[in-house]
Homo-oligomer: A and B are copies of this chain.
């Protein structure tokens, strides 16, 4: 009997798991020739992300989508680095999150996984961001789901349980795929299955992260291609 035979939906975290935010932002900042270390700049922008969502979830801010939060953080980071940038350039740079490049294994891996599962996003990114990204990068989602649908940001249980609820499934019939142990832990607490994906260069090639396996996750894979192979082998047992 397969361990995951009842899984019907694979829900994917997006930033870092599907797309390389650090590499894409670094390249874009480099091409703008801003007076700043692009590797650092990308990390500084991303570092404002969780605190900004926490302000929404605490009620300090009303519901605010990630595009707007990204812009608030960007303005602060530009200020901190004393970089002058006019409004159109700020708006264009802020939209880099809609243009993030996928990791090399992603399009082929998702295409294979979609043969046997419903594949969807479960991201804090807003719907327009995620659909522009998918159109630009050719990501073959069956459904784009976002914190914007549930009006709650991960790790709020409403998001993980929301995926199961939309499909009238039990939580263990949904597997969260993510490169972040904290995201997977929150999903597991809701009863979802979990698959960890190694993305050692998520924060830059100059700052590799520890991607060693943790037994608490159901699955561990270096790429989406490997994940597809593991799940396929499991279905045949």
Q: Could you list which residues of chain A lie within 8 angstroms of chain B, going by C-beta atoms?
A: 67, 114, 118, 120, 126-128, 130-132, 134-135, 142-145, 148-149, 166-168
Contact = CB atoms under 8 A, between A and B. Distances in A.
Contacts of A127: 143, 145, 149, 166
Given A126-B166, A166-B126, A142 B149 contact: no
A162 B121 CA distance: 20
A55 B178 CA distance: 40
A226 B126 CA distance: 33
Q: How many copies does the complex hold?
A: 2
A197 to B, nearest CB: 23
Nearest to A144: B143
Contact of A167 (B128, B149, B166): B128
A143 B131 contact: yes
A135 to B, nearest CB: 5
A131 to B, nearest CB: 4
Contacts of A131: 118, 120, 142-143
A168 to B, nearest CB: 7
Contacts of A118: 131-132, 135
Question: Most chain-B Cβ atoms within 10 A of its Cβ — which of A132, A135, A143?
Answer: A143
A62 to B, nearest CB: 14
A42 B127 CA distance: 34
